[in-house]
Amino acid sequence: MLDHHLTDDDMGLFTGLRMTAFGQSVIDIANDSAYDEWTFSRKVRHALDQEIAARAQRRVVKLLKESKTPNPAACVEDIHYLPDRSLNREVVARLASCQWIEHTTNLVILGKSSVGKSYLAQALVNAACRHDYTARYFRLDDLANKLAVYRRGDAERLTFLGSLHDCDVLVLDDFLTTPISPETASELLNILAGREHRGATVVTSQFDPEDWYKSLHDAVIAESILNRIVSSSELVQLDGPNMRRRKHTGPGDEPVS
């Protein structure tokens, strides 16, 4: 029986088995003399490692897409530590390790407009997905508008709410920057209650928590929302220059000169 030498023409076999990276590695090994001295076991291990890495990357891309983050390329590696910025590498590295997600600890990121709150939240979504956590990202106004589209009791609405309750990380960006309706406030409380001890919630806001009452009409609901978020949260206070006025250095990079 003639020995069949693997070539690119055989890629279809591996693609059909959903082992594209493994197959490409095997074909590369078969056609590159640099691998001739490798043992059979080493060749197989190398091909398997390539397949595992490729599958992990596809999983990250899938999780980022499902998160609906507006900037999936945002990452902690691109955060800039300027002398006049109240953000240090140790804090970011600790948050990027995602232990706060594992412990369902909420995160409150505060600071004036354009200091980089949203970018930090987006970078932490990226870190969460790289650690195989599920995430959902919404500006609070957008979440309110989305909920308003659904009628109560609709199966699609219940599915959507279920995704908010069940995800490992829920980001609520621009939290209570403007007043919200009593209906939205009540729905928000239900979402937060459903997530308690099940997932971590990240809130970014221009206002300190004690000022959130001004955007809520019902004092009881306001107190409940405040307690749900702040009682088990870590506070990150951002201060520094206006990051939006600085030039981008890359497609996902934080604005900076």
253 in a domain, yes or no? no
Q: How many domains does the chain have?
A: 2
Residues 229 and 188 occupy one common structural domain: yes
257 in a domain, yes or no? no
Which residue, of 35, 65, 95, is where some domain finishes? Answer: 65
Residues 171 and 233 occupy one common structural domain: yes
- Residue 184 belongs to domain spanning: 68-245
| Average pLDDT in the chain | 84
122 in a domain, yes or no? yes
Q: Whole-model pTM?
A: 0.78
Residues 88 and 138 occupy one common structural domain: yes
83 in a domain, yes or no? yes
141 in a domain, yes or no? yes
Q: What is the pLDDT of residue 184?
A: 86
Say which residues have a Cβ less than 8 Å from residue 48's Cβ, sequence separation at least 6: 22
The DSSP letter of residue 218 is -
- Each residue of 197-222: b (16+ CB within 10 Å) or e? eebbbbbbbbeebeebbebbeeeeeb
1 in a domain, yes or no? no
Assess contact for 159 and 196: CB atoms under 8 A: no
Residues 147 and 88 occupy one common structural domain: yes
Say which residues have a Cβ less than 8 Å from residue 80's Cβ, sequence separation at least 6: 254, 256
Residues 78 and 50 occupy one common structural domain: no
Residues 49 and 82 occupy one common structural domain: no
Least confident of 73-77, 79-83, 131-135: 79-83
Structure tokens at 68: 């609906």
The CATH number assigned to the domain holding 113 equals: 3.40.50.300
Residues 203 and 123 occupy one common structural domain: yes
Confidence tier at 1 by pLDDT (50, 70, 90): very low
Residues 161 and 236 occupy one common structural domain: yes
Q: What is the pLDDT of residue 66?
A: 95
Residues 13 and 29 occupy one common structural domain: yes
pLDDT, greater one: 95 or 196: 95
Which residue, of 32, 49, 65, is where some domain finishes? Answer: 65
Structural element, H or E, at residue 41: helix 40-67
Place of tokens 């078969």: 30
Residues 82 and 184 occupy one common structural domain: yes
pLDDT higher than threshold 60 for residue 100: yes
Task: Supply the DSSP string of 83-99, one letter for each residue.
Answer: TT-S--HHHHHHHHTTH
Q: What is the pLDDT of residue 251?
A: 56
For range 65-81, the mean pLDDT: 92
Q: What are the tens digits of pLDDT across the range 35-56?
A: 878 888 888 788 778 777 778 7
250 in a domain, yes or no? no
For range 158-182, the mean pLDDT: 90
Which residue, of 43, 65, 87, is where some domain finishes? Answer: 65
Residues 85 and 58 occupy one common structural domain: no
3 in a domain, yes or no? no
Residues 28 and 45 occupy one common structural domain: yes
What length does the chain have? 257
